[in-house]
């Protein structure tokens, strides 16, 4: 989490997680639900909108824009690095 997004997660920038087993492969959609339930500490409306991230949150999967990877439908692989960067700034 970068660009201020980490403030919604107790200021922790890096989380190494092991996701629980489930019948279907994990995708970003399910990862976001898991993050909301397990890591997000405050003001979910600043991170999520519906089942996706809020506009203004840049998502990178292994340093590539998630739009190139299938966004919410991207199937997570072992050791993937998912980065959320807030581009929203108060004024």
pLDDT in tens, 5-56: 888 898 889 999 999 998 999 999 999 999 999 999 888 998 999 999 999 9
63-87: pLDDT as tens digits: 999 999 999 999 999 999 999 998 8
Which of 52, 49, 47 lies closest to 86, judged by CA? 47
Phi and psi (nearest 5°) for 63? 70, 10
Q: Fold for domain 5-86? A: Ubiquitin-like (UB roll) (3.10.20)
Strand-strand pairing, 48-49 and 52-53: antiparallel
Write down the pTM of the prediction: 0.88
Which of 51, 59, 50, 49 lies closest to 86, judged by CA? 59
CA angle (55, 61, 67) in 5-degree steps? 50
Phi and psi (nearest 5°) for 70? 110, 10
Per-domain residue ranges for the chain? 5-86
């Amino acid at each position: 989490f970068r660009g201020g997004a980490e403030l919604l997660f107790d200021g922790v920038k890096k989380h190494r997680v092991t996701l629980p087993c489930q019948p279907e492969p994990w995708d970003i959609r399910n990862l976001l639900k898991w993050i909301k339930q397990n890591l997000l500490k405050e003001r979910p409306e600043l991170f999520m909108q519906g089942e996706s991230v809020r506009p203004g949150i840049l998502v990178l999967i292994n340093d590539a824009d998630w739009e190139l990877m299938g966004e919410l439908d991207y199937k997570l692989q072992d050791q993937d690095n998912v980065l959320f960067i807030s581009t929203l700034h108060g004024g």
